Amino acid sequence: MPLEHRRVLLRTLLYGIASIGLYLLLYLFHEPILTASQKGGWYFLVPIGIAFMFSMVHGNFTGYFWDVLGVKAKTTKK
């Protein structure tokens, strides 16, 4: 297995584990998160920050996942 393929596979696994961990933390701590986001003021940033974090981690996982499977976007000439 080439070194680059191993790196991509390792990153896929790490981001996958991180994604699962985020979903688990959201499930376990949903009540304090809801309470914090309902306080008003600048606390409206709590769910926005959580959504941004999920987007980054899960997006990276998905990108590396498709790379491991060998799926690439079709390019067209202009």
Domain of residue 58 covers 3-69
What local confidence, expressed as pLDDT, does residue 38 receive?
Answer: 92
Q: Could you read off the pLDDT of 8-61 as tens digits, one per residue?
A: 999 999 999 999 999 999 999 999 999 999 999 999 999 999 999 999 999 999
What local confidence, expressed as pLDDT, does residue 1 receive?
Answer: 77
Q: Which residue has the higher pLDDT, 73 or 20?
A: 20
What local confidence, expressed as pLDDT, does residue 73 receive?
Answer: 80
Whether 25 is in a domain gets the answer yes
What local confidence, expressed as pLDDT, does residue 48 receive?
Answer: 95
Whether 75 is in a domain gets the answer no
Whether 49 is in a domain gets the answer yes
What local confidence, expressed as pLDDT, does residue 74 receive?
Answer: 83
Whether 76 is in a domain gets the answer no
Question: How many domains does one find in the chain?
Answer: 1
Buried b (16+ CB within 10 A) or exposed e, 45-75: ebeeeeeeeeeebbebbeebbebeeeeeeee
